[in-house]
Every structure is written in C-alpha cells, then in structure tokens.
Amino acid sequence: MSTLSPDSAWWRQAAVYQIYPRSFSDANGDGMGDLPGVTARMGYLSALGIDAIWLSPFYPSALADGGYDVDDYRNVDPRLGSLSDFNAMVSAAHASGIRVIVDIVPNHSSNRHEWFQAALASAPGSPERARYHFLDGLGADGELPPSDWPSHFGGPAWTRVPDGQWYLHLFATEQPDFNWDHPEVREDFHTTLRFWADRGVDGFRVDVAHALIKDMSLPLRSKPALEILVDDGTDPLFDRDEVHEVFAGWRSVLNEYDPPKAAVAEAWVPFTNRRLKYARPTELGQAFNFDLLQAPFSAVEFRSIAEKCLSEADASGASSTWVFSNHDVVRHPSRYALPDGSTLADLEAWLLADGATPVVDLARGLRRARAATLFMLGLPGSAYLYQGEELGLFEVADLPASSLQDPTWFRTGNKVKGRDGCRVPLPWSASTANFGFGGTPWLPQPEWFGEHAADVQDGVAGSTLEMYRAALKLRGTLQTSESLEWLSSPGASVVHYRRPNGWEVLTNFAAVPAALPAGVDLSKVVLSSGAPATESIPAETTLWLAP
Ligand code: NOJ
C-alpha cells in the first residue's frame, strides 16, 4: 500500500538517493547487485530519510558502458531481476513513502538494440539506417570518418561498418546515437515513458539530455573538442535550440498522469541561463546543476554558486538541484583530500598513479565532504545523493588494471582510468563475506571498506551515516519554503544563511576555527558535521541551528 503524500510538487525539495543497481546489493549472490537487493534494503533507505531513489539503468545491456548501453528500454536485465521484481521494488518503495525515479537514455541505444541490428542488416540509405546517423566517409574511398568529432570516452565518434558507411557514437562504439529527427524515435521514447509511468514510477532522469539534436547538414562542421560549448544554441552537437521541442513533447506525456511525473535533465551545459531551459515547467522541471560539484571547497565559490543558482532557478520557475557525487565522478571526500588547487587533470593523474601520488589527506577530505554535505542539505531545492556517500566512502583509486571496466580506460589506450573507483559494490557489514554485498563483487572491494560498513556506523554518534540520517530527518522541518537570506559574517571563511522559518546554517571553510558571527547562539546547534562547537566554528565544519 502506498504511503506517498499527494503533493505533486514533492520533487522541488526532495532528497534523492542514487542507486547504481549493479553495485548496491546483491540478493541472488551472483556478484552483481539486483532489484530484489534494492527491495531488501528498503528498510535501510527508509531509515536514511530520503524522499526518492533514482535507479541508474537496470535494462538489458552488454555493459559496454555500465548499462548506459541499452538493448531494450522496456525490460529488466535478467541478471538484475524481472519486471515483476521491478513492480515489487516500486511497491516496497511506495509503502515506505519513497518515490522512484528511473534513468532514461535517449541519446543512444546499444549496438545490440533491435533497431541497430536491423540497421546493420540493411543497405545504406535504407529506412532502417535512418533511425541512427549513418554517413559515407571522406577521402577517395570514404576511408576517413565523416567529421573530426571525438567520442567522450576517447577515440573518434565514428565507427565504420563492413559496407563502408560510418555511424555516429558520441560515447562508446557500442552506443550508436539515435537520429532524433526521425518520428519513430520520438514516438518510441513516448512509449517508453508511458511504459514505466504506467508501472508506477514517479519520475525520470534524462541522460545527456542536451545532446539529442545534432546539426547533420553536410559538410559536417568541425568540432575537435567536445567540452567546448557555445551559449547561443549553434553548437553542432550540444544544447541546440531544437532539443526543447523534444522535451516539450515529453512534458505532455508526463502530464498525462496525476500527479504529473517529475523529470530531471542531465545536461552538462555550463551556462545557467541555457541549462535552465531544460528545467522550465513546460519541459522537464529540473536540470542537474554540477557547479558545486566542480568547485573547490571554498567559501567564496560555494556562496556565489548557491546565490546564482537559486536566483536563476527562481526566475525560471524550477527548483535548484545540488549534487557532489555520482557514478561519473571521483567521490567528493577524495576530491577534497587532494592538495588544494588540484585540477581535473591532477585527479586523473592521481587515479593513474593508483592514488599513490600526490599524497592525500583523507581525514581532511572526509571532514570537508561532511561540511559540504550539510551546507547543501540546508539549501532550498533538491539534493541528489550518491549511494555510499552516507558511509563516507572514498574513491577506490587503486583498482587493479585487470578489473577495470570503464570504456574510458580502453578507448584512451589506458591513459585515463575512468569511473570504476566510485562504482565499487557497497559495504553493508564489516564481518560478513564481501562486506555483506552478496556474491564476489564484480569490482573488488578494498580492505578499508570494512571500516565504512553500514553496520559499523549504525547507531554510532558522529558517524557519517548517523550524520546523514540526522540531517535528512531534520531537513523535513527546515525545508518549509524555497528561500533563504544570506547573513554577513566577520571572517571571509564563513558562509552563513538563514531560512525563513529561522533555521540557520553556518559553514567554516578554513582549516582553522573561525569566530562566531555576532548574535549566533551556540546553544541552538542541533547538528555539526565535525567537532562540537564551543566558542567558535570548528575548522572545515558546518553547523545547523534550530530556531
Ligand atoms: C551520462 C551517464 O551518467 C554516464 O554514466 C554515461 O556514460 C553517459 N551519460 C553516456 O550514456
């Protein structure tokens, strides 16, 4: 029986917990997490105090890209369960008052999808090929790819098929890009949305939402670096204005339901004004905001990002989103443990060195991560949490090369290690085989996972798990409106804000204690990310003060 509140705006300030199903909990002991594993852990999720779970893809897949290579959008990978296991999981979640968001991957299918198989079996110029982007190559014999576009995972974005044509894949070779100008592609995704909505899901996370529409007019325009975007809708590959027609169509489908289904765009668009177009009420409603995730742990950065994102979300009618970790990035306690000033290239070099150099300060990284999390959980908007962050997990930086699975590792000729280190199966119990995950995990767990196991932290005051539980419980009281007031503080290292109902949040970003702003009454502290506050704000710590 469902215990969900009838609130159709539930998503605006929700705490959403991302489950990477293959690494969450393995009920059948085959070493791969599964849907019955999620159902079995519903009590844990409920006690954590989250509002919703978002499941990364659980569809049939050869796992060329961890499931983001989908063979069949309307089924469950048999290794992860069945459609009836899915129904059971949704029922269990709803009975616990937890909503369910599923991942939709519209930019590309897998190369095993029946449409792509039909395209390969058909001739150049056939209707079957028109659902993807097949082109002749350049050069005297078409031996060169149709453009200089690279793939996100390294290497060219084109692969040649035996009859000489090339097909486009912005990600791995096994992920051919759909042609979104094709009406059947558009219609089929409406069918997929309805399929899962009819099964009771409450929302959708939309993978690479900004990439669907491409300028395929010939000759193709040059774009040798994918990460450089323009802010006027004229980029050949990303954030083109026409993509908004697609999502307006999706909104009509999502609004067929009562309450309407929620949706959040994954759109790595650095220009907030353009990113928010995906979040308009006439489109998806929300878009991920990765600004805090990409920022250094700094008072100036955190405050200016939060201020800017909140005012822009306000202006667009969306609510803001916040995220520090997900299945694509190095876990935030490890990012903050690297020497200050480390760049993305430094992070990649650190992973390549198996996390040996530069030397990281893990205690500091976790202290800062906890402070950052409480800073975020006090803000208006939705907080997206990634499985294992509530256990204070670090990146597993030293996975043996033989265990790596991320296509980035292979497509860069072993030069970029990729994302496996944040996908290692969770430790549930310190003293059980495979830390209680299930069978021998598909990525090896390090020894130190035992110290982070859920059962070791359960009920232990000050543990990261108990801090998350306490914060998520209090968040219900704190999030009664969507606004806040920034307060001034004597030191530049402190950010201080107050919610209209009187809750206050203070973060000291410095490595030394900071003086209290005038009028702050420490007897009102109900939660600290670090040491108890006596007469100052401890180093790299966030405090929550109740009214
Ligand atoms: C974004 C997903 O989060 C990532 O894991 C995936 O590799 C790409 N999209 C391609 O689907």
Query: What token pair was written down for 132?
Result: 């993807």
Please give the pLDDT value at position 215: 97
Model confidence pLDDT, tens digit, residues 59-72: 999 999 999 999 99
List 256, 346, 398, 451, catalytic entry: 256
Q: What is the pLDDT of residue 2?
A: 72
Residue 534: predicted pLDDT: 87
Q: Name the 3-class secondary structure at 100.
A: strand
Model pLDDT, residue 99: 98
Q: Are 264 and 290 in contact (CB under 8 A)?
A: no
Low-confidence stretches of the chain (pLDDT < 50) are none
Containing 407, the helix (H) or strand (E) segment is helix 407-411
Question: Pick the catalytic residue: 69, 71, 207, 291?
Answer: 207
CB burial of 343-375 (b: ≥16 within 10 Å; e: otherwise) equals eeeebbebbeeebeeeebeeebbbbbbbbbbbb
- Report the C-alpha gap between 111 and 161 in whole angstroms: 12
- CA 207 to ligand 1 center in whole angstroms: 6
Residue 326: strand, helix, or coil: coil
Q: Are 242 and 248 in contact (CB under 8 A)?
A: no
Residue ranges lining ligand 1, Cβ < 6 Å: 65, 68, 105, 171, 207-208, 266, 327-328
Q: What is the pLDDT of residues 504-521, one digit of tens each?
A: 999 999 999 999 999 999
Residue 310 has a pLDDT of: 93
Mind giving me the DSSP string for 190-259? HHHHHHHHHTT--EEEETTGGGS----PSSPPP-S-TT---SSS--SSSS-TTHHHHHHHHHHHHTTSSS
Q: Which atom of ligand 1 is nearest to the CA of 419?
A: 5
Q: Taking a C-beta distance cutoff of 8 angstroms, is the pair 327, 66 a contact? A: yes
Helix, strand, coil fractions of the chain, as percent rounded to 5: 35, 15, 55
Q: CA 126 → CA 53, 135, 145, 168, 176, distances in Å? A: 41, 12, 20, 16, 17
- Ligand 1 centroid vs 525 CA: distance in angstroms? 40
Contacts of 420 (CB under 8 A, 6+ apart): 396, 399, 403, 404, 405, 406, 409, 443
Q: What pLDDT was estimated at residue 203?
A: 98
**Strand order from edge to edge, sheet including 504-508:** 485-487, 494-498, 504-508, 541-545, 525-528
Structure-derived torsion over alpha carbons of residues 526, 534, 362, 434, reported in degrees to the nearest 10: -40
The verdict on whether 26 is a catalytic residue reads no
pLDDT for residue 1? 65
Handedness of CA 514, 517, 519, 525 (dihedral sign): negative
pLDDT at residue 451, rounded to an integer? 98
The Cα–Cα gap between 396 and 60 comes to: 27
Separation of CA 219 and ligand 1 centre (Å): 28
pLDDT at residue 229, rounded to an integer: 87
Residues 198-216: b if buried by 16+ CB within 10 A, e if exposed = eebbbbbbbbbbbbbbbeb
Q: Which atom of ligand 1 is nearest to the CA of 266?
A: 1
CA atoms within 13 A on the CB side of 381: 30
The beta-carbon contacts of 279-282 under 8 Å, at least 24 apart in sequence, are 279/313, 279/316, 279/318, 280/316, 280/317, 280/318, 281/251, 281/317, 281/318, 282/248, 282/251
Please tell me the predicted confidence (pLDDT) of residue 282: 96
pLDDT at 315: 83
Q: Is 235 a catalytic residue?
A: no
Domains belonging to the chain, first-starting first, are: 10-108+183-213+241-342+359-395+422-471 (3.20.20.80), 109-177 (3.90.400.10), 481-545 (2.60.40.1180)
List pLDDT tens digits, range 191-244. Answer: 999 999 999 999 999 999 999 999 999 999 999 999 888 899 999 999 999 999
Are the beta carbons of 12 and 316 closer than 8 angstroms?
no
Q: Which atom of ligand 1 is nearest to the CA of 69?
A: 11
Pocket test for ligand 1, best of 102, 104, 171 (most atoms within 8 A of CB): 171
